């Protein structure tokens, strides 16, 4: 079993503004409750980029899912470009003391540095909120996603099945000089 | 790496499996009565029992239940078997209950193949906190290794 051996670098919570690799002006912000902007993003989402049954297909399933993952206790970060949401990541508390992470970026905005920026901001927000351990599952063949998660410090954990589980320690209470 | 957690007495995954994953109530090939073997190894997988029994009332399928060891070390086989029998009594159903010992996935696959079941049915796909579908090690092993059709109830 592989356990992250060192806490991830400290990350800055949102907001953040930068130019992506396509020179687009991208703003990373904490989700402000603008549900329709999120629904619009997921309406434009390529079904081929769905993972393990999420986002749910169909308006009703999508809205129920968004209700659940934006409930109090969950942390949400969005990437905006030209006033539209182009990426979204979320931390949902599990039954123990960790949080599960998921991230979705519209196809036209992938491979431009946006995913990394969203993850860094979300982990910063999580760390600030006292989340100590973040985990996710990813399909083993999804090498692009696995590489992205590794960039921000996730490491494989446990026995790989159809999905690979990865985790990162945010080191919120380990006494390190995490600003 | 094998999905089996201990790897001691389990066959290597066979990628040439003829098993398929479907949804019990949607498949068009379900016409006609079949012999169905339902695997139960934990709380979540037990939830499939009611649905399978409800379905047999319309299809005339013959159902058997195999109670298996929980790889996560939860409820004992004896406890699960007692609860399965209670539910069967609630449904007034006469169903064969089996308790093949050993690695849960391989015990279920071996029983189904040895006794000529048409289909293995499995529940136990629990949503993660985020709503992702999570298939545990038993489901993964059976889907990859079974040579009979596998139906996953979600």
pTM: 0.74
Beta bridge partners, B110, equal: none
Give the integer Cα–Cα distance in Å for B35 and B49.
15
Give the integer Cα–Cα distance in Å for A35 and A83.
14
Query: Is the model's pLDDT at B132 over the cut of 80?
Result: yes
pLDDT tens readout for residues B57-91: 888 889 999 999 999 888 899 999 999 999 999 98
- Of A52-56, A174-178, B73-77, which range is least confident? A174-178
Closest partner residue to B132 among A52, A95, A161, by Cβ?
A52
Closest partner residue to B130 among A54, A160, A162, by Cβ?
A54
User: Does B137 contact A at CB distance below 8 Å?
Assistant: yes
pLDDT tens readout for residues A61-77: 999 999 999 999 999 99
Average pLDDT on A54-64 reads 92
Structure tokens at B51: 């649905």
How confident is residue B154, by pLDDT bands cut at 50, 70 and 90? confident
pLDDT tens readout for residues A96-142: 889 999 999 999 999 999 999 999 999 999 999 999 999 999 988 88
pLDDT tens readout for residues A20-44: 999 999 999 999 999 999 999 999 9
Give the integer Cα–Cα distance in Å for B136 and B126.
8
The C-alpha of A23 sits at a distance from chain B's nearest C-alpha, in angstroms, of 32
Closest partner residue to A102 among B130, B135, B136, by Cβ?
B130
Residues 6+ apart with CB under 8 A from B13: B2, B3, B141, B144, B145
The C-alpha of B116 sits at a distance from chain A's nearest C-alpha, in angstroms, of 27
Structure tokens at A65: 């899912």
Instruction: Kindly tell me the burial class for residue B47, based on how many C-beta atoms sit within 10 Å of its own C-beta (0-12, 13-18, 19 or more).
Output: middle
Closest CA to B58 of B25, B22, B89, B92: B25
A93 with A74: CB under 8 angstroms? Answer: yes
Beta bridge partners, A157, equal: A165
Check residue A51 and report its DSSP letter. B
Residue of chain B nearest A71, judged by CA positions: B130
Query: Is the model's pLDDT at B27 over the cut of 50?
Result: no
User: Does B129 contact A at CB distance below 8 Å?
Assistant: yes
- The reported pLDDT for the residue numbered A8 is 57
Beta bridge partners, A94, equal: none
Residues 6+ apart with CB under 8 A from A145: A51, A138, A139
């Amino acid at each position: 079993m592989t356990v992250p051996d060192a806490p991830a670098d400290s990350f800055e919570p949102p907001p953040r503004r930068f130019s992506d690799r396509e020179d687009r002006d991208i703003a990373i912000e904490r989700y402000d409750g603008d549900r329709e902007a999120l629904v619009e993003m997921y309406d434009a989402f390529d079904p081929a980029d769905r993972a393990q049954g999420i986002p749910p297909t169909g308006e009703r399933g999508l809205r129920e899912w968004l209700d659940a993952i934006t409930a109090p206790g969950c942390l949400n970060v969005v990437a905006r470009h030209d006033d539209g949401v182009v990426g979204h990541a979320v931390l949902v508390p599990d039954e123990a003391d960790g949080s599960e992470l998921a991230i979705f970026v519209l196809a036209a905005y992938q491979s431009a540095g946006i995913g990394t920026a969203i993850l860094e901001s979300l982990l910063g927000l999580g760390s600030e909120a006292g989340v100590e351990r973040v985990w996710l599952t990813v399909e083993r063949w999804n090498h692009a996603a696995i590489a992205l998660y590794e960039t921000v410090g996730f490491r494989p954990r446990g026995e790989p099945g159809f999905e690979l589980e990865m985790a990162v320690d945010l080191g919120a209470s380990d006494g390190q000089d995490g600003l | 790496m094998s999905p089996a957690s201990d790897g001691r007495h389990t066959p290597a995954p066979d990628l040439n499996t003829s098993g398929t994953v479907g949804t019990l109530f949607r498949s068009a090939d379900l016409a006609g009565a079949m012999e169905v073997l339902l695997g139960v190894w934990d709380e979540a997988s037990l939830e499939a029992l009611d649905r399978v029994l409800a379905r047999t009332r319309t299809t005339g399928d013959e159902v058997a239940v195999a109670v298996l060891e929980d790889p996560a070390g939860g409820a004992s086989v004896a406890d699960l078997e007692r609860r399965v029998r209670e539910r069967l009594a609630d449904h007034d159903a006469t169903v064969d209950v089996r308790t093949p010992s050993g690695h849960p996935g391989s015990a279920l696959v071996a029983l189904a193949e040895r006794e000529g079941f048409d289909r293995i049915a499995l529940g136990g796909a629990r949503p993660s906190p985020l709503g992702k579908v999570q298939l545990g090690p038993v489901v993964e092993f059976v889907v990859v290794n079974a040579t009979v059709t596998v139906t996953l109830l979600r």
